[in-house]
Amino acid sequence: MQPAAVVRQSGRQGLVCHRQDLSSQQSGIEATADGHRGNGNATGHLHDRVQRIHTREGAASDGNTDHRQGGEGRHHPRKMGGTTGTGHDHTESFSAGRLGKRHHFQRGAVGRQHPHLHLNPQLPQDRRGRFHGRQIGITAHHHGHAGKNCRHEKDRQDCHRLPQRPRRPDLMRRITDVRLPAPLGSETERPHWIGLNDEGRIVEIQPQIAGETCPGSSWHGDWLSPRGVDLQINGGLGLAFPELSAADLPRLIALLELLWADGVEAIAPTLVTCGIAPLRQALAVLHQARLQHQPGRCRLLGAHLEGPFLAEARRGAHPIEHLAAPSLEALDHRIRGFESDIALVTLAPELAGADTVISALRQRNITVALGHSAAKAEQAGQAFEQGVGMLTHAFNAMPGLHHRAPGPLGEACRRGDIALGLIADGVHVDPTMAVLLQRLAPEQLVLVSDALAPYGLADGEHRWDERVLLVQNGTCRLEDGTLAGVTLPQLEGVKRLATWSGAAGAAIWGATVAPRRVIGTAGTLNDALVGQQLTNLLRWSQREGELHWACAA
C-alpha cells in the first residue's frame, strides 16, 4: 500500500499585535506607530500639545516634572496614548497547524528553538529605523518635528520610557526523562525533556545533558509518540469499506471512534477489488464521513484502492471476477470525480498498460504501491523509477526474497527509499522474517493492520461480500484456507514487533512516524509532535517485558 494525503488538523490562533491598536481608556492624544507617521495634521497636533505641556509645566512648577538624570522635564508616559508593554511593532501571528500542513511549530528539528516559541520575544520597535534604537515598550509616539531641546535630538535617549515592568513568569512546564521513538540503529535511549505551554501543547523538545538534573515531572524513561496512522485497513464493526452505503454512516462514525480509542489517529480506508458501482458509492460515503470529522475521532485520509489492476496469480482473497487490465479508461470509470478522495492505489506494475496508469496517478498526486504482483526485481526497479513508492504488505502476494531472485522486496531494500508495509501479526509474516526486514531496512518499515470487517467483533464466522470469513485468534481466512487479513488493532502489531526484536522505540516509530513520512505530513518526529496537545499523543511503557500504551495526558 501506499498513501498520500490528508491528515489531522487542529488550529490555534495566537497573539496578534498591531502598532495602531490604541487603548480607548487612555488619553485622547492620538498617535501612529506604523512608521509612516499617519496624517500630518495629527502628528503636528501631537507635537504642539506635547510642547505646550513641556512649557506650561516647566514654568509653573517643578513638582509635576519628572527630574530624571539629565535634568530635562519629561511628560509622564501614563498620560500618553498608545501601546505599552513588550513593544511589538509589527503584526505577528501564529497558529498550531494541522496534520497535513506544516505550521510554525513544525519547522524546527529536535533540539532547535523556533522564534515563535519564545514566550518573551525582544523585537525591534521598527525595522526601518524610524523609532529610536532604545525605544522599546513605550507609547506609540514619534517626535517627527521635535525641537532641539528634546532629549531625542540631543543624545538619542528616550524621554518617555515607561518604568521597568517585572519580568513575565515562565509559563512553560516540563516533562523529563522521556524517550523518543526512532528507526532501528538510531538513538532511542537518550532522555529528553518536553516543554509544554499553558494549553498543554508541546513547544520545545530538547535532549537532556548526561549527569545534569533537569527540573520537571519525570516519565522515568517512557516513550512519547504521536498516535498511529494505518495505511491499510479494510473495515471494522462488521462494515467492509467496499460495501458502504449512506445508511452505514452512523456505524462508520462509531468505527472511527473505536479506532481513536485504539490509539489510531488516521486511516487510509482500503477498498479491495470490487465492482465499479459499489466502489464509487463507497467513495461517496467516505467523502461525506470525512466532512463530519470531530475531535476524539479517527480521521479519514484519502482512500486506498487495493485493486483492481492486480496479477491474477497473486490476487490472494481478491475476487477474480472484478480484476481488470490497467488502462486509462478503466481508471477513469472508477475514480472520475473522486481523484481528490484517493490517497493510494496498489497495482501490479508488470501488467501491460500499468506504466500509463502509474503516470496518470502520479500526475494526480496519488501515491502508487506495488502489491499482488508477480514482478521480478528488474520490473520492480522500473516501476520504482516511474514513481511507485511503496510495497503493499511486504512478503505477502509477491515473490519473496531469494538469493538468486531478490524480487520486488530485494530491489526495494537495495534502493532504500521505498516504504515497506508490514503486517506484524506473526501469521502473515513469521516473526523472524519481520525482525530481519526491520534490520535490513529500518527506515523503510511501515506497520499496517490489514484489519477486515470483523475488527472490533468477536472471533467466529462472519460474512465478507458473498463469502464466509472465519476468524480465529484475530486471523481471518476464507473457507478454502486463504489468508485474508486480521482483526487486530494496528498498535497490537507494534507490541508484537517490540517483543520479537527487543527494540520498542523502533517498533513505535514504524506505526506512528513512518506512515506520516509516506503521506507527507511529517518528515521528522519533531514535525509530528511540536504544536500538538499532549492529550492527543501516546505514552508507552514497558512492564515485565511487554509494551503498553495509554493517552499521554
Q: Which residues are identified as catalytic?
A: 450
Q: CA 145 to CA 44: how far, in whole Å?
A: 7
Enumerate the β-bridge partners of residue 469.
462, 478
Listed residue (154, 197, 194) closest to 177, CA to CA: 194
Q: Compute the distance between CA of residue 160 and CA of residue 46 in angstroms, rounded to an integer.
A: 14
* Site of grid cell 501614563: 78
Look-up of cell digits 535511549: 189
Cell of 178: 522521556
Contact 194, 521 (CB under 8 A): no
Of 151, 148, 154, 139, the residue nearest 67 (C-alpha): 151
List the Cα angle 493/532/171 in 5-degree steps: 135
Q: In which region does residue 484 sit, left (phi positive, over 0), alpha (psi from -120 to 50) or beta (all else)?
A: alpha
What DSSP element (H or E) covers 306?
strand 303-306
Contact 374, 398 (CB under 8 A): yes
Number of Cβ atoms within 10 Å of the Cβ of 389: 20
Instruction: List beta partners, residue 223.
Output: 179, 540
Helix (H, G, I), strand (E, B) or coil at 97: coil
How far is the CA of 154 from the CAs of 70, 72, 147, 268, in angstroms?
11, 11, 10, 68
CB 528 within 8 A of CB 202: no
> Radius of gyration over alpha carbons of the chain, in Å?
31
Q: Quote the CA–CA distance of 325 and 289 in Å, as a whole number.
A: 31
CA distance linking residue 120 with residue 464, whole number of Å: 59
Please, is 407 exposed, middle or buried when counting C-beta atoms within 10 Å of its C-beta (0-12, 13-18, 19+)?
buried
Q: Are 101 and 44 in contact (CB under 8 A)?
A: no
User: What are the distances in angstroms from CA 474 to CA 163, 269, 282, 428, 452?
Assistant: 69, 19, 25, 12, 10
Q: Are 300 and 6 in contact (CB under 8 A)?
A: yes
